[in-house]
């Protein structure tokens, strides 16, 4: 391998799929920018964008918060897992996951092993989440409970970091995040 080829290949994480991705799945804590970056990335690629939570809400005829309240988190996570499995079968897709989707082992395994899938973690510090999500407490009730929020963040971070690619996004604009994903996926 030439020095140039070695240099270029070192920008792609070891765990990234060898083939070019046919779908990119964005994961990360709330406020990481999944629903902001996703449509921008999809537009650059000429792909479709789907927010998993929006798809679940449309299918169920209820909000995620209502589904949690009516059926509990375990039932919601199973519904979410099934929706993600169905959505992640499509090609030419950028899919944004809900922040907790990564906690379901079957969802994680599916996204890490599915041929053609690049799972990308948008890593954000908790302080950045709090700043970015300020004023959204009505739609994100978990923000009101700071202690639980911190514990949730700490519990999920190692799971997010299992992704094929992890990009620290605190100091990046959405456009710079898109560029970083495209470079790492060898699509840009």
> 76: domain CATH number?
3.40.50.300
Q: What is the DSSP string of 2-19?
A: -HHHHHHHTTS-TTS-SS
Number of structural domains in the chain: 1
Per-residue pLDDT of the chain (188 residues; tens, 9 = 90+): 333 333 333 333 445 555 789 999 999 998 899 999 999 999 999 999 999 999 999 999 998 888 888 998 889 989 999 999 999 999 999 999 998 999 999 999 999 999 999 999 999 999 888 787 776 655 555 666 777 888 999 999 999 999 999 999 999 999 999 999 999 998 87
Q: What is the pLDDT of residue 36?
A: 96
Interatomic CA distance for residues 60 and 75, integer angstroms: 12
Residue 18 phi, psi dihedral angles, 5° rounding:
-70, -40
Q: What is the pLDDT of residue 55?
A: 96
Residue 7 included in any domain: no
Strands (E), 20-92: 23-27, 48-51
* Length, in residues, of the chain: 188
Residue 16 included in any domain: no
Residue 9 included in any domain: no
User: What global pTM score does this model have?
Assistant: 0.86
Q: What is the pLDDT of residue 19?
A: 75
Q: Report CA torsion sign: 155, 103, 10, 48.
A: negative
Quick check: 33 and 78 in contact, CB under 8 A?
no
Domain residues for the domain of 118 are 21-184
Q: What is the pLDDT of residue 144?
A: 65
Residue 151 included in any domain: yes
Residue 15 included in any domain: no
Q: What is the pLDDT of residue 138?
A: 55
Q: What is the pLDDT of residue 139?
A: 56
Residue 130 included in any domain: yes
């Amino acid at each position: 391998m030439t020095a140039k080829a070695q240099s270029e290949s070192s920008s792609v994480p070891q765990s990234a799929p060898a083939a070019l991705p046919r779908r990119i799945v964005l994961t990360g804590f709330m406020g990481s920018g999944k629903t902001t970056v996703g449509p921008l990335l999809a537009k650059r690629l000429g792909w479709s964008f789907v927010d998993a939570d929006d798809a679940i809400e449309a299918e169920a005829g209820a909000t995620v918060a209502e589904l949690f309240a009516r059926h509990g988190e375990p039932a919601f996570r199973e519904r979410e897992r099934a929706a993600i499995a169905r959505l992640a079968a499509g090609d030419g897709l950028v899919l944004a996951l809900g922040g907790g989707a990564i906690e379901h082992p079957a969802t994680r395994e599916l996204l890490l092993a599915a041929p053609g899938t690049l799972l990308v973690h948008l890593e954000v510090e908790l302080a950045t989440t709090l700043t970015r999500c300020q004023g959204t407490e009505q739609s994100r009730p978990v923000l009101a409970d700071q202690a639980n929020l911190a514990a949730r963040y700490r519990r999920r971070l190692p799971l997010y970091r299992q992704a094929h690619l992890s990009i620290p996004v605190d100091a990046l604009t959405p456009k710079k995040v898109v560029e970083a994903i495209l470079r790492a996926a060898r699509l840009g």
